[in-house]
Amino acid sequence: MIEKLQNNDVEVSKKIRSIFQLSYKIEADLLNATDFPPLKRPLENYIHSNTEFYGYLKDEEIVGVVEIEHNDRFTAIHSLVVDPTFFRQGIARKLMVFVLKKFDSDLFVVETGLENGPATALYKKFDFKEVKQWDTDHGVRKVKFERTINN
């Protein structure tokens, strides 16, 4: 089940942050990143974020989260994370299906580390196309994907 998470609730944000930390530790390893900014994101940033968080719940526990920014021009997937205990169970795919159905956008955008093979494969399965690569100041090569809906 997927539901909107009330990130302004401290306890909910603690759960969100915990899943982000677990998942981003794996991504940092995939990217060989020793300085990985997502791991430094403070709890207050989740609590006061203007983005929307949606959680995938299994047995009433949050095991996956997608963070979205939606406006009249595009929908940006800021983060899509799954608790590593639940990897390879289709949770990220279900969160992607949810986002693409829920948000009425002509353009969806997402960024990830170039060496994050699982994320890249997921986005490509949903017809996201690579539009840009660049090096960050913390030593990670990133890639941006877009999915456009032609009306």
Task: Report yes or no on 141 lying in a domain.
Answer: no
Task: Report yes or no on 130 lying in a domain.
Answer: no
Q: What's the pLDDT at 150?
A: 67
Domain count, the chain: 1
Q: What is the mean pLDDT of residues 12-39?
A: 94
Task: Report yes or no on 124 lying in a domain.
Answer: no
Task: Report yes or no on 115 lying in a domain.
Answer: no
Angle between helices 117-125 and 10-30 (to 10 degrees): 110
Task: Report yes or no on 119 lying in a domain.
Answer: no
Task: Report yes or no on 97 lying in a domain.
Answer: yes
Q: What's the pLDDT at 138?
A: 86
Task: Report yes or no on 73 lying in a domain.
Answer: yes
Chain segment 87-101, per-residue pLDDT in tens? 999 999 999 999 999
pLDDT over 90, % of the chain: 91
Chain segment 105-121, per-residue pLDDT in tens? 999 999 999 999 999 99
Q: Looking at residue 54, which CATH number applies to its domain? A: 3.40.630.30
Task: Report yes or no on 137 lying in a domain.
Answer: no
Nearest CA to 21 among 69, 96, 82, 106?
82
Residues whose CB is less than 8 angstroms from the CB of residue 106 and which lie 6 or more positions away in sequence, other chains included: 74, 148, 149, 150, 151
Q: What's the pLDDT at 149?
A: 82
Q: Which two tokens stand for residue 73?
A: 């021009």
Chain segment 34-78, per-residue pLDDT in tens? 889 999 999 999 999 999 999 999 999 999 999 999 999 999 999
pTM attached to this predicted model: 0.94
Domain that holds residue 14: 2-105
